[in-house]
Structures are given as C-alpha cells and as structure tokens.
Amino acid sequence: MEELQMYRNEISELGFSIIENIYSPCEIEKIIGCIDQAALSNRETFRKSSDLFAIRQFLKEVPSVQPLVFNNKLKEIIQELFGKDYFVVKSIYFDKPETSNWYVSYHQDLTISVDKKIDREDFGPWTTKQNQFAVQPPINILKSNFTIRIHLDETDENNGALKVIEKSHLKGIYRPETIDWAIETEKVCKVAKGGIMIMKPLTLHGSNRTTNKQRRRVIHIEFSNAKLPEGLNWSEKLNISIA
C-alpha cells in the first residue's frame, strides 16, 4: 500500500508514474500472440506503414487480448489509484519498428473519442479520424482522466520512449510553442518490458525517432469516470470487472 501511495503522489504531483513488473514474460508473449494473429487481417482501424503499425479501438478489434491486459495486478492498480468507477474510453496499439523515423512532437492529449457530433458550447473543436469523432471536452473531464501505457518491449531514449515535462498537467492548456525551457524539466520515461506508465492527459509529452534498431510496442489505454451530456456517448466504452 505504501508503494501505491507513492505512485499516486507521483501522478498527482508530476503528472506521470512508472510501475515495473505488471506482466510476466509469459503474459507478454500471450498478448503479442493475440496481436500478431489479428495483424494478419486488414481492417479500417489498422494503420500500416514502414514507420508505424497502429490498431485503433484496439480492445474492440482484438477482444481476445482483454483478459490478458486486465490481469489482477493492473485491476488492483486501477482500483487503488483511481477507483472502481473508472472505465475504458479509448485504446490504441502502437508498434514502432526497428528502423522507424516516426517521432511525435510535444503535445497534450486534449480530445476524447465519442460516437457522434453534437452542437454544444463547451465541447469543441471537433475532428474525425478513421470514421471516429474526437472532441475537446471541458477541462474538468481531462483533469479526471488518466492513461495507462503497457510496454511490450524494453523502451528507452533510443527507441522512442516518451519524454514528458514534469508538472505540466497542473498548468491547464499548455501550448508547446510556449514552453519555457529555462524553468521546465524534461524527463525521459524508460520503461522495462512488462512495465506500465501512467499519465495524466494534460501532461506535455512526445517521443523521438528510433536510433538503436530496437522495436517499441505499446498498448495505450485511456480511462474516465465522467458522464457525458445527454445525446453524447463514449465511442469505445468498456467496463472493467474489478472483483
């Protein structure tokens, strides 16, 4: 329980935390097996290029992976750090190959995925990607949400580990072009295979190109406990059974 309190404090104060040894090597291999089987098909939610393979709506597209991802360790962490009322609202699988030149500049995760577009003053702007609606919600929803990134490979600064700006989640909407490097602290989040990174969506984050010819596979899952206004629903809501 003391360790969990430490992680809770880190997430609250820094905007992120890293927890090792959530999945055994055997569990990781089973998860990868499910993904490799699904990757044999070609679906609308799959994105394949020389720099990146991604599966949007991952937990829906690869349902066999759900009991493996939500093992007892992860469910305990979700319950103890956030509460039983949280549910999945978005999931993506990223595979950055060994020779990838893919990089992501600093940004905050400011949108949520919903089932339709409605006119509301407090929701917007709107975008559409692969027939999925995304919208920037009121900031109180973003403040209560959190993301878990499950690492299927060893990840460091040489193969695209996330770099974050500590405490940036406490500054509301923070435009990357206004970052003052004289006062901000950048942290490269090295995560071992089988570990997870938990992050608040308002934490500024990005990643560099791969330079060591090492693969980086990550499952990105976003959680919320927010009730959306009438007429609007989460496009990928999935309840977690936490016994």
Asked if 108 contacts 173 with a C-beta cutoff of 8 angstroms, the reply is yes
Asked if 88 contacts 221 with a C-beta cutoff of 8 angstroms, the reply is yes
Q: Which of 96, 13, 16 is nearest to 49 (CA)?
A: 96
Residue by residue, pLDDT tens for the chain (243 residues) are 678 899 999 999 999 999 999 999 999 999 999 999 987 777 666 666 655 688 899 999 999 999 999 999 999 999 999 999 999 999 999 988 777 777 899 999 999 999 999 999 999 999 987 678 999 999 999 999 999 999 999 999 999 899 999 999 999 999 999 999 999 989 999 999 999 999 999 999 999 988 888 889 999 999 999 999 999 999 999 998 865
Q: What CATH architecture applies to the domain 2-224? A: Sandwich (2.60)
Residue 210 has a pLDDT of 86
Residue 134 has a pLDDT of 96
Residue 45 has a pLDDT of 62
State how far Cα 178 lies from the chain centre: 24
131 dihedral zone (left: phi>0; alpha: psi -120 to 50; beta): left
Domain coordinates in residue numbering, the chain: 2-224
Dig out the tokens for 33 from the structure. Answer: 């097996």
Residue 96 has a pLDDT of 85
Residue 198 has a pLDDT of 98
Give residues with Cβ within 8 angstroms of 100, minimum separation 6.
50, 51, 52, 160, 209, 210, 216
